[in-house]
Amino acid sequence: MTATAAPHSIASLHSAFASRETSATAVVETCLARIAAEDPRIHAFLSVNREFAVAQAAHADALAAAGGPLPPLAGVPFGIKDVLTLEGFPATAGSRILEGYNPPYTATAVRKLADAGAVFLGKLNCDEFAMGSSNENSAYGPVHNPHALDRVPGGSSGGSAAAVAAGMAVATLGTDTGGSIRQPASFCGVVGVLPTYGRVSRYGLIAFASSLDRVGPFAANVRDAATVLGVIAGHDPMDATSSPLPVPDYTADLDRGVRSMKLGVPAEYFAEGLDPEVRASVEGAIEKLRVAGAEIVPISLPHTRYAIPAYYVIATAEASSNLARFDGVRYGLRAPQSDTLAAMYRRTRDLGFGAEVKRRILLGTYVLSHGYYDAYYRKAQQVRRLLTDDFLAAFRQVDAILTPTAPTPAFRIGEKSDDPVAMYLADIYTVTANLAGICGLSVPCGKSRDGLPIGLQILGRHFDESTIFRVGQAVESL
């Protein structure tokens, strides 16, 4: 068993640094030592920059020595998913086509962490261009689940989840296009947050599907996740889709409990295909919330069965468009020995992209092509509207919605590699929130007989992250 609790919470670190009980340098050295000891087996990190991290920690220690107020994340060790840019660090998106690329700018969410005093340990492994549900699609090798090294950590943000689960970082950033934060959080037994679309800037994110991508945090507990989201959320003039709505204090209502709250349980998420152990853990958590004073309300989200096909039409169509820029001309890999421009394009993309990325580009190009656009892409967008309407109707009845995060615990590495449809179905409970633009949270709610974590998903209204954190904190405390 490699998984361990994070060495500290953000609040405890903040207090310890302020009182000089410990130093940021000592905490960062502890994390770096754990990376050196554990990551050869887990492979969560694609790059580690010791010199940079120690220098940032020294700066936090200097602030603490000066005696003034510390920034909210001063000295807290973070890892960053490798689809987010950080100047001075490589950004590969888990792909050979970006091997050696060093971006000249930093993503807004990452910059906000830096402004809040965070320390960056390195960049984290992920499925290539965030396309995957197991982290087996990385061109640099799979990530292993710290709870069982023969199991996947989930994807695409598997490295981000595993780093927290193994105690190699206190918190991390990931991205979620169809479940890529929440499903790894469930598989690795940590907390993962899907913010409302537009709540966190996407500037500096290497895009997969621009109408679905979100940036969000992983942490060992709900309070830390809420703290990090409060730092990275907010309007950004560099992202036209970011919301101008003010950012509340997400930690303010964490301890209010769930008494008198109405929590919806959709029948469609507890149907055929749900693992019995997952069902038992999730239903057990729901029962504890009922005993704690919440009203459990049966609801229906009738268009859920269309979510996976609609998602894989929309997401692949947008991926086809976004990944057209990787052609060997401006940056990244360029195939050698190409006599013509067209040949160079073909060879570069053939050598640089992995099988899953090629599959999605081909599918997305097909559904956008002349004669098929209306039959597939337009129809999928109409289904997306129906799914959104389902949620809007449900939230007129309830304050939040409770579901399993994933239909099974973590599966074995290689178990689904040859069956793309089975792999896609691992996202059956998570893609709906991305399509509807709402927020979501995965919190641990139990373990299987084999000791594998199981997650409870809490879905909330647009820009109502405070409510899902409140419910998540109740689950954690129970």
Q: Could you tell me if 187 and 57 lie in one domain?
A: yes
Q: How many CB atoms lie within 10 A of CB 118?
A: 28
d(CA 201, CA 280): 37
Domain that holds residue 321: 309-374
Q: Kindly state the helix (H) or strand (E) to which residue 342 belongs, with its residue range.
A: helix 341-352
User: What distances in angstroms separate CA 431 from CA 173, 189, 309, 314, one per listed residue?
Assistant: 19, 20, 10, 11
Pairing of strands 214-219, 171-176: antiparallel
The answer as to whether 59 is a domain residue is yes
d(CA 100, CA 73): 30
The answer as to whether 64 is a domain residue is yes
SS3 109: helix
User: Which of 232, 257, 290 is the last residue in one of the domains?
Assistant: 232
d(CA 19, CA 107): 32
List the CATH number of the domain containing 207. 3.90.1300.10
Burial of residue 146 (CB within 10 Å: 0-12, 13-18, 19+) is buried
The answer as to whether 447 is a domain residue is no
- The token pair at 373 is 């656009």
Q: Could you tell me if 199 and 320 lie in one domain?
A: no
The answer as to whether 280 is a domain residue is no
Query: In this structure, are residues 70 and 10 in contact, taking their beta carbons and an 8 Å threshold?
Result: no
Q: Could you tell me if 16 and 109 lie in one domain?
A: yes
369-372: long-range contacts at Cβ-Cβ below 8 A with a sequence spacing of 24 or more?
none
Return the pLDDT at 337. Answer: 80
The answer as to whether 390 is a domain residue is no
User: Which of 374, 398, 424 is the last residue in one of the domains?
Assistant: 374
Per residue of the chain (478 residues), give pLDDT as tens. Answer: 457 655 589 999 999 999 999 999 999 999 999 999 999 999 999 999 999 999 999 999 999 999 989 999 999 999 999 999 999 999 999 999 999 899 999 999 999 999 999 999 999 999 999 999 999 999 999 999 999 999 999 999 999 999 999 999 999 999 999 999 999 999 999 999 999 999 999 999 999 999 999 999 999 999 999 999 999 999 999 999 999 999 999 999 999 999 999 999 999 999 989 999 999 999 999 999 999 999 999 999 999 999 999 999 999 999 999 999 999 988 889 988 888 999 999 999 999 999 999 999 999 999 999 888 889 999 999 999 999 999 999 999 999 999 999 999 999 999 998 888 889 888 999 999 999 999 999 999 999 999 999 999 999 999 999 999 999 999 999 9
Angle, CA 266 vertex, CA 263 and CA 270 arms, to 5°:
120
Q: Could you tell me if 51 and 156 lie in one domain?
A: yes
The answer as to whether 166 is a domain residue is yes
d(CA 268, CA 205): 33
- The count of structural domains within the chain is 2
Q: Could you tell me if 206 and 323 lie in one domain?
A: no
Query: In this structure, are residues 223 and 9 in contact, taking their beta carbons and an 8 Å threshold?
Result: yes
The answer as to whether 240 is a domain residue is no
Return the pLDDT at 292. Answer: 98
Which residues are catalytic, by number? 81, 156, 180
d(CA 435, CA 438): 8
pTM of the model: 0.96
User: Which of 342, 374, 406 is the last residue in one of the domains?
Assistant: 374
| Type of residue found at 184 | P
